[in-house]
Structure 1
Amino acid sequence: MSLILASNSAARKAILTGAGVAFAAQGAEVDEAAEKTRLLAEGAGPADVAQALAGLKALAVSRARPGAWVLGSDQTLEFQGRLFDKAASAEEAGDRLRMLRGHAHQLHSGVALARDGHLDWTGRDSARLHVREVSEDFLTDYLAAEGEALTSCVGGYRLEGLGAQLFERVEGDYFTVLGMPLWPVLAALRERGVIAL
């Protein structure tokens, strides 16, 4: 059976590729900003938003790809009860990291499987990340090394790269931090015959 990842995220592609899952990737046409605004106005929390957006992405692609299983995924960052979007610039990412310095925040990763325009399965997982008291010198060097790549991830860091040095500890699943709770996804794909048992 064919599987389509409703995302062009390099991290999510790498997660599935590393796990040996065959898939094609197609970005989803979803107005995330408008949907987030709607969901928050309806009282959704940051974890709910991640799961809902994953479902909307899966549905958007599945309507155009009959018969295929479509995997949607989304991630939100929660700090002190507030949801944060990806930074619009490297400077904004730096300001966010300064705000997170010495504190814990949560990453919520939502996933959904859809087929023929219907949601078949959803899941989510959260991780708690503790940012160490990084020095301004380290942060300056980090921001210069990462550059505009800081705007491609919601926290302004890539745990699989230099960003690992920002943390004193992480509570939760590594793949959830990268943007997709892999173990539940693999189980759901096996149950549906998309990958071998």
Structure 2
Amino acid sequence: MNSYPPIVLASSSPRRQELLKNLGLPFTIQVSDIDETVSPDLKPEEIVQTLSFQKAEVITRNLSFGLVIGSDTIVVLDGQVLGKPTDEQDAYRMLRALSGRMHQVFTGIAIIDVASGKAEVSYSSTYVTMEAMTDETIYSYIASGEPMDKAGSYAIQGLGATLVQKIEGDYFTVVGLPLHLLAHMLTRFGVSLLNR
């Protein structure tokens, strides 16, 4: 019934895997291990698009056909990129900086058709405002373990939701895979979720 090529998600993120599964698309997972070092001159939207493409591209080298989806998410506060924390102290530093402030989350998506070489890259951004957090709240959240592998040291789809005051934009961009953007990109590769 499916006339489109097999879909490969180039991500180890359980969040992205769950979101893609929710769309009802069959897919396999191949984790891309790339050097995520980028030029400090790149703008946030350029960073996520560059890394998304690199994550997808490295997987295409081992395939002869299929659609490979790569994605990358960063948190930006005052022009500074907050990546995944290196340790609990680093997580505290980020959460203290985000406390009571608005920041931006950028998520890039890249889709590459292995057989044709056709590629498309785009991104989505969303504003997130965190509540003012006491040190006690921050330490309790860090003790949960949730911040340790998350950009910006929080997960909006987990306990971190209790720290988020409001968002302006696409919730799924903050989780790590903007589904609206992805769906529209997929249609240009012949994958129609709702016969758009």
Aligned to 2:74: 76
Decide which structure has greater helix share. 1
CA distance in 2, matches of 1:119, 1:162: 39
CA distance in 2, matches of 1:109, 1:59: 17
CA distance in 2, matches of 1:22, 1:190: 15
AA aligned opposite 1:185 = L
Q: Indicate the SS of the match to 2:31.
A: coil
Contact 1:71 1:111 in 2 (8 A): yes
- 1:176 aligns to 2:173 (yes or no): yes
Normalised by the length of structure 1, the TM-score is 0.90
Aligned to 2:142: 143
Residue 140 of structure 1: CA displacement? 2.3
Contact 1:132 1:167 in 2 (8 A): yes
Aligned to 2:31: 27
Contact 1:129 1:170 in 2 (8 A): yes
Structure 2 stretches lacking a partner, 5+ long: none
Contact 1:126 1:172 in 2 (8 A): yes
Contact 2:102 2:129 in 1 (8 A): yes
Contact 1:21 1:195 in 2 (8 A): no
User: 1:35-57 deviations in whole A, cap 9, x for unaligned?
Assistant: x1xx32xx211121001110111
CA distance in 2, matches of 1:85, 1:138: 21
Residue 157 of structure 1: CA displacement? 1.1
How much is the aligned-residue C-alpha RMSD, in angstroms? 1.5
Structure 1 stretches lacking a partner, 5+ long: none
CA distance in 1, matches of 2:47, 2:77: 14
CA distance in 2, matches of 1:111, 1:119: 14
Which aligned segments of 4 or more residues in structure 1 are displaced greater than 6 angstroms?
none
Aligned to 1:57: 55
Residue 181 of structure 1: CA displacement? 1.3
Residue 194 of structure 1: CA displacement? 3.2
Residue 76 of structure 1: CA displacement? 1.3
Normalised by the length of structure 2, the TM-score is 0.90
